[in-house]
Amino acid sequence: MRTRLLGIMIVVALLVSCASIQLAGAADTVPFVNVSIVDGYVGEYEEYHIRFLLGRDVKPEEMLSIVFDDNINRAGFRDIAAGDLSLDGTLAGASACWSGHILTVPVPVALSGGTVHELTILRSAMVQNPWKAMHVRLLLRDDAAGTTLVSNHYGISAVTHVSPVSLMVETPRTDRLAVLVRFRTGRTGALVGTPAVRFASPSSAGSDTISIRLSPALSRVWDQSGAPVVWFSTPGTILGPRRLQLVSTSDLSREQPDRYQKEATYVLDTSVGASTEVLVRLEFDASSIPILLTTDDFAVVWTSKEPTMVRIPLTGVPDPVPVDGGQSPELDTTAPLVTWKAQASAFSSRLVTVSIDIVEASLKQAFLETGSDGSLHTWLSVGHNELLLVNRSGIHGTIVATDKAGNTMRTPVDIPAPAAT
């Protein structure tokens, strides 16, 4: 009788053990959606990488819908093409369709529940960033299951320089590396904070936010060290008790090491006034960081009240080592070479392809600005750039290209209005 009872107890224990393993595994497969974009500049046609995990298996031809913010635009004169969109590497754009700000995608292959999948939307789909700086999120809707997931925040912004700001690093101990970001809120930049609480999900935030985007080297520091401990303080307060809570992260240009930037958004546990200096301290475990930081590194900061980014260069670190082995480089006084030409479409005189070529070995930034207010239209890169523009009443703007030595070339762009048809 005792032997039989012992056998029953062993079976029950095994069942309980299996159940606990299954529950532990289920805790690691909570559904989520995380968005990474490539550039994040106002007015830019954007490339999206949407990683998600669902709580069920999805059969081929079942529908997933991406619900974009109302401020996100798309080109209404073309349908989405087969190569514009892929799911886990399988082209999925041929049967995808738009309805307002909702992009519905029939799943091309079976998707396993509990597995992370990636939906990629290329620039050719012509999903356009808002014309004003802001924080946005999107929704991933599983139409068959009737469930909706909310993404992390991602930032759309221009970049500016505001003073006084500073960025520096220090090593308070041999095993710690601290990155100190100092900036000042504007006259209307007061931030509302709430006492620290446990949020139901990373996508729910109960206060204003501070976002920080790190240079490629600082982003690799984050990846190798792990997420830092983050504190903040204002004049007259103690640094320690004020702790920022991370609510979302996003990796920009993840596949391009020289352009890769990690973006993190935090909420505050206390309020910050307007025109107030703020110090944010990101403290990393330095034991596994072999990366040398230089004056080429930077942080970009913005808040939910002041969404225009402030770019802060890193100081107090060595200058970049010259590639010629130590000789000081010759002073660069030559501005980038910029040429352009325009070609109207054979289908419509209102569609114009503008080809822009930029020659510069050390380009810092280049962009096309249009409009009477000189607003940014799109960012450009070294080499050949092609832009498809809509010409309603003439296109008048300027191509601005600046190299790392500070030399700037401003090239006017004047395209007359199309002839009446």
In tens, the pLDDT along 103-123 reads: 999 999 999 988 999 999 998
Specify the residue for token string 């991602």: 154
Confidence of residue 199 (pLDDT cuts 50, 70, 90): very low
Q: Compute the radius of gyration of the chain from its Cα atoms.
A: 25
The terminus-to-terminus CA distance of the chain in angstroms comes to 99
Q: What is the pLDDT of residue 21?
A: 36
In tens, the pLDDT along 41-78 reads: 788 888 999 999 998 999 999 999 999 999 998 876 67
In tens, the pLDDT along 315-361 reads: 877 766 555 554 544 556 788 899 999 988 888 888 889 999 999 88
Report the side by side order of strands in the sheet with 395-403: 375-380, 363-370, 395-403, 408-415
pLDDT value at 177 more than 50:
yes
Core vs surface per residue 318-336: b (16+ CB within 10 A) or e: eeeeeeeeeeeeeeeeebb
pTM (2 d.p.): 0.49
Q: What is the pLDDT of residue 187?
A: 73
User: Domains plus CATH for the chain?
Assistant: 32-156 (2.60.40), 159-315 (2.60.40), 337-415 (2.60.40.10)
User: What one-character DSSP code corresponds to residue 45?
Assistant: B
Q: What is the pLDDT of residue 196?
A: 56
Q: What is the pLDDT of residue 330?
A: 57
Rounded to an integer, the average pLDDT of 161-185 is 74
Confidence of residue 5 (pLDDT cuts 50, 70, 90): very low
